[in-house]
Amino acid sequence: MDNVSFATSINNFQQSLAITLTTFLSSLLSFLPRLLASLVILFVGITLSRWVKNVVVHTLEKLRGTAQAEKTPLQSFLKNAEITSKIEVLIGGVVYWILLLIVLQTSMSVLGLSVISTVLNQILLYIPNVFSALLVILFGVLLAGIAETVVKGAVKTIDPRGARVMGTLTSYFVMGIAIMAGISELGIAQQFINTLFTGLVAAFAIAIGLAFGLGSKETVAKIMDEWYMRMKKS
């Protein structure tokens, strides 16, 4: 009886082992094609990403070297910000990593790692917001410089001493709006940004009033005296 039980146990063990090995081999055989496809996607994707990066860097270097590029507001901003010629490499690197994220997301999806694929997909979906915020801030920097120049030129005829202060305040105001708009594009604390914007507008109005009043009091006094004398003569 013991021999029969032992033989039955051995037989059951062999069957369980055979089922386990069969299941493992079946899973392995079904996984290997996905693994191979994932590795191919990674290899080809990394190669293409590097190639695109080099093309972007080379193209930007050519554009930067042209006379037209030297005259653009962006070029002036880069010079004023003391950003070296390596800006092309920086942009190329950003393009490379975006493409690499796309490749990784595709590779993980093929491999069946849905959790990692979902995380990478969320990152990719957020990237346009980052670019939008950067463009808004960059446009704000350029606009701030233009606004400062215009205000200085306009106020200089009335109050030469207050022109610089007015221009600087205008530049800071435009930059503040641009930064808040950029943060809003990221979807970060939008209610707080709206409140801060209202406060910034009020502070700017008060600052302009004080700067104009204190810096231009002598000019205003002269204008009032001239107006009074004309009225008296008439």
- Is the pTM above the cut of 0.85? no
Integer Cα distance of 167 and 146 in angstroms: 10
Q: pLDDT tens digits for the chain (234 residues)?
A: 455 565 666 666 666 666 777 776 766 667 777 778 888 888 888 899 889 888 888 887 777 654 444 444 455 555 555 455 566 777 788 888 888 888 888 888 888 777 777 877 787 878 778 788 888 878 877 888 787 787 777 667 666 666 677 777 777 777 877 887 777 777 765 665 666 666 666 666 665 565 555 555 555 555 556 655 666 665
- What pLDDT sits at residue 191? 63
Cβ–Cβ under 8 Å, residues 124 and 117: no
Cα–Cα distances in angstroms (integers) from residue 32 to residues 10, 38, 114, in the given order: 32, 10, 17
Integer Cα distance of 11 and 24 in angstroms: 20
Neighbours of 76 (CB within 10 A): 13
- What pLDDT sits at residue 51? 92
Question: Domain-by-domain residue ranges, the chain?
Answer: 127-234
Cα–Cα–Cα angle for 46, 52, 58, rounded to 5 degrees: 135
> Which CATH class name applies to 127-234?
mainly alpha
- What pLDDT sits at residue 89? 76
Distance of CA 147 to the CA centre of its chain: 24
